[in-house]
Structure 1
């Protein structure tokens, strides 16, 4: 009999293992029964979550509306009141074709609903597909389609569709933070792997996964610990019975050598018949999707990790991007810089700019610029305040630092004191986005993993800036910086710059 230990109000099930299931009580192994319980069609036991159906229909309606808006605006802008029947027919066909392109690019797959980036990528890929299709069909039929109409219709459709998906994503994210619109997950694995996977899933409720039970082999140390508020401990695995008992939508398998190969394959077949998704965690953390690919070799599916883009062509592209955008931002911010400089000079004694030696890429030191927000003797007074630090154990921070001037508090609150660092960006000392620029004393305490932060230039902003700023612990700051170093891309930089504006206006963690 399978021994279930259930807590937090979950009923204790009877013997759910089929009588012919293989059992080996001498060692903790994963057992997938040769004869599984009779499969009840998912449609009879479970109904598809209403939020999934609503989201799909909302996405379809949004994409269709986006296409109709894009086509209508393009027709009016290009032809005015002289629209021919040919373009009216083309305008009616394009929205249907657009929906087909989005569907082919997996824009309506349930597993991607509410994920954000993957949905946006499907819209962008559909845009390129539709453009290519129109060009090919125009050439094949030798029809003279006005380029101005296509150039207007397709991009406007794309922008409108992205806006719709963004609104849908925001809507479902807000619901997920209160526990709605979630996928029920059964986590299978060993002690450490189960704990790690469950923690990562629970840390990101916006991703839509809620762990309702965990399955571990008998004899696992996790049976003696409390792995979470809802736990299903076991002496021997019966994953399929647990799936039926807890009506899960997803089975998440943590990395484990004993649940692999043919056993995992047979489990995937059984879950497929039940309409349950199977996801497998390889145990690799903080690696973004673009760096991961699956390559079939000799009948095996091998996970390949691309090297981070920290040198060569990508690094040159980042440098060009930093200087071009940095110059534009500096020109736009010039009036603000002049006003702030005057205020700093008139409200306290000392220089307008504060210069501090920081460590940049590859350990090269440089002089970082900031507007002075403290009294002139701030560095000399730091020692007497060190015991009052509210920082993260490595960085010195005080919410009510007596050395900060009146105007300095406002500059820090809105991060205006960091605008002179745009000069550092133009010099090549810093990047617009990157890890926090450390002091030499901090670098001296770095562990081997921490030093990896210096593979790229430090940034005026970064993941640390949009994820809590001064409220982060040292471990969280390092983890975010390493995540950025390993997964850098221009798209990520643009996303961080956008979120930085929101973080600055929100004033969270700034002191």
Structure 2
């Protein structure tokens, strides 16, 4: 399929069909998404449920019973005998083995999958026939066997068809955007660029490539932006919102460059990948791999992150509903006490250094940010951050809501929108981040910022900048759901005691 680059804001490039219309059939990403879905445990359990349903329908339709099947309530009220339950358990175990041995969950193409389902249905049918003969009180077996086979193969094909439609028309539009940087420009990098549009999970936007010895991209349809040599990687990770770095350098001749790139990514907390197919073979039949790449993640990446997001969403929504009278009262007090908007919006850096608008109740005069330049000499905190205890810009109402941290409550809306979490490193203003000089400080942006964190419950503003950063990194490295709950529990007494504010 012919492809041309499409440039988005910020110079990001993504590959799309050249015609601008959906390509016939399914794209590579859609086929890969369907293949991942076919091999998932959810589909495996669904297969067993479909086989069980086929067996139940066959038993009810083909064998006489004294139960009135027209009476749904009586039928559903039947007790399952231990004998029938034992037969069902035996069938499930046999079917699971047959499905696995038939290769249904290891199919490499739709055509291969169709033949595997045909074979699996054929082999599952004798198991059902034996179970039906073991429980029947008479009647033939040919009709029940044929009916079970038809129901099974039809339902399994239908299941895969629905999964394919889901992957093709829903999953492909829900892929999250991810900004990537490529190290290298040779044949490995070119092959990598061609494969990225087909990724089943991420919709990659490419910043460009870094290479000390750049080579022209052979594919005219995929031009890449040259960002500089390897010595520019440090500055790019400091200044650009990079989600992932792909390392596509030859291992033999560029080992030191690869190690250097991995070290820089680790220091910045940026996920990196390098190609795993560094050796070639013509005999090997199977290779366990993940898209031919080894992924180096710098943060915890498992199902707990979904639980964290679900908790953030639920807790922030309930919190907004419960404290809405307080929010309204504070908004009225701010409006009546001083001129200016009720909500103060400030650009801060979030996950992977992406800017977003953070909400707070306005606690200072309207032109507070402009006046800050005149107060820089009063800064009482070491490092790039700015903080003074008796800030002349704070209003009378502002002093109270800052002391009680009420000014932070509108950030519940940031949590609800997914820009922040309830617990995490505090989001920093662009003024502070622009003064960072060490790449290791960027690692605090490898997780979502939070309304509260370790340093708020471990001394809050009494900590110096180095201690603050150390606690942020400690939180990232040792994160657990229980740690989040512990920090939330400790935040309440810390706020009540008024041990500073962020």
Q: Same fold (TM over 0.5)?
A: no
TM-score (norm 1): 0.39
Greater Cα radius of gyration, structure 1 or 2: 2
- State the TM-score, normalizing by the size of structure 2: 0.40
